[in-house]
Amino acid sequence: MPALRFKQVDVFTTRPFFGNPVAVILDGDGLDTATMQRVAAWTNLSETTFVLRPTAAGADYRLRIFTPRAELPFAGHPTVGSAHAVLEAGLVAARPELRQECAAGVLRLSVAGTGTERRISVEAPPAALEPLRADAVGEVERALGARLAPGSAGQIVAIGPRWLTLMLADAAAVRALAPDMAAVAAVSRKLGATGITAFAPARAGDHDAVVRSFAPGDGIPEDPVCGSGNAAVGAWLQHAGAQLGDRGRYVASQGRELGRDGYVSVRVDDAATHRVWIGGGAVTCVDGVLHVQSD
């Protein structure tokens, strides 16, 4: 039974036990897909990643990303947390830009600072947007237990996961959400969405938006601080011609309702259609080995 290097990293925070945890197995080569999925179900975190040798030209490493129930082509907090783990373990030399290979392609990452001051951002894959059907709005609002902001339109934003992305009236409405999780799972399946990400602008000293993400159909009732959900919000804003913060740069607060209190830095890139950068800090909480037996 091999002993594989393992880290559990809290992402979008610099404080242990805040942000969003990801399990990172640094020695993923040699594990089959069934074993990876079983490990991800065992960790029972929103995502578990496996670092492998790259197969694409120019990539520094390859990453496979699993929820407790399925593999994802891309996810934000696992990407940031895995890059932190790879750098901390010395698998890749620290430099301002890295390349991560994943099922969504080879993605650019920027790295600024060192140690506890390090901040890692990733350019999310190109987003594809599909408007929420008018006849589904009522069902979605009942599942969420809240109404869309007047004049706003829901969009299914495919950015790896497919987030049904909705703007609510204000930050208080987002923070007060108590969705019917069975209904959220049902309407997500019906619409072919991973789950629902709800957001609203916020007037606060340390953040410009409040975000919450729900994916009970994937075994994640609420993702504490969701990178791909925040990237979907950035794509929604660009599509709607709206802007938060300063020139497309803003900070989103997420996870406070779960006691996780994370912060995601978002940059909406006007130079490319629906390209969004998301990033933040990360801190290792568990560093050791995992004993895994393949099928």
The share of the chain scoring above pLDDT 70, in percent, equals 97
- The reported pTM is 0.95
Predicted confidence at residue 116, as pLDDT, reads 87
In this prediction, residues 264-286 reach a mean pLDDT of 88
The mean per-residue pLDDT over the stretch 24-53 comes to: 97
pLDDT for position 292? 84
Q: For the structural domain made of 128-273, what CATH number should be given?
A: 3.10.310.10
Q: What is the pLDDT of residues 138-185, one digit of tens each?
A: 999 999 999 999 999 999 999 999 999 999 999 999 999 999 999 999
Catalytic residue among 47, 101, 123, 222: 47
User: In this predicted model, what pLDDT tens digit does every residue of 224-254 receive, in sequence order?
Assistant: 999 999 999 999 999 999 989 888 899 999 9
Which two structure tokens, joined as six digits, stand for 225?
């601080």
Domain boundaries, the chain: 3-124+281-291, 128-273
Q: What is the Cα–Cα distance from 64 to 31, expressed in whole angstroms?
A: 11
Q: How many residues are there in the chain?
A: 295
Residue with tokens 């709206």, as numbered in its chain: 242
Distance CA 197, CA 226 (A): 9
**Residue 295 pLDDT exceeds 80:** no
Q: What is the mean pLDDT of the chain?
A: 95
Q: Is 97 a catalytic residue?
A: no
CATH topology agreement for domains 3-124+281-291 and 128-273 = yes
Residue 41: its H or E element:
helix 33-43
Residue 293 clears pLDDT 80, i.e. is over it: no
**Rounded Cα gap, residues 107 and 123, in angstroms:** 6
Architecture of domain 3-124+281-291: Roll (3.10)
pLDDT: which is higher, 149 or 269: 149
The amino acid occupying position 29 is D
Would the pLDDT of 271 be above 60? no
The model's pLDDT over 97-113, given as tens digits with 9 standing for 90+, comes to 999 999 999 999 999 99
Residue 294 pLDDT > 80: no
- For the segment 74-88, the average pLDDT, to the nearest whole number, is 97
The pLDDT value given to residue 282: 98
- Check residue 205 and give left, alpha or beta (phi > 0: left; psi -120 to 50: alpha): alpha
Q: Report pLDDT digits (tens) over 119-131.
A: 999 999 999 999 9
115 vs 183, higher pLDDT: 183
Q: Rounded to whole angstroms, how far apart are CA atoms 81 and 88? A: 10
- Give the least confident one: 17-21, 39-43, 269-273: 269-273
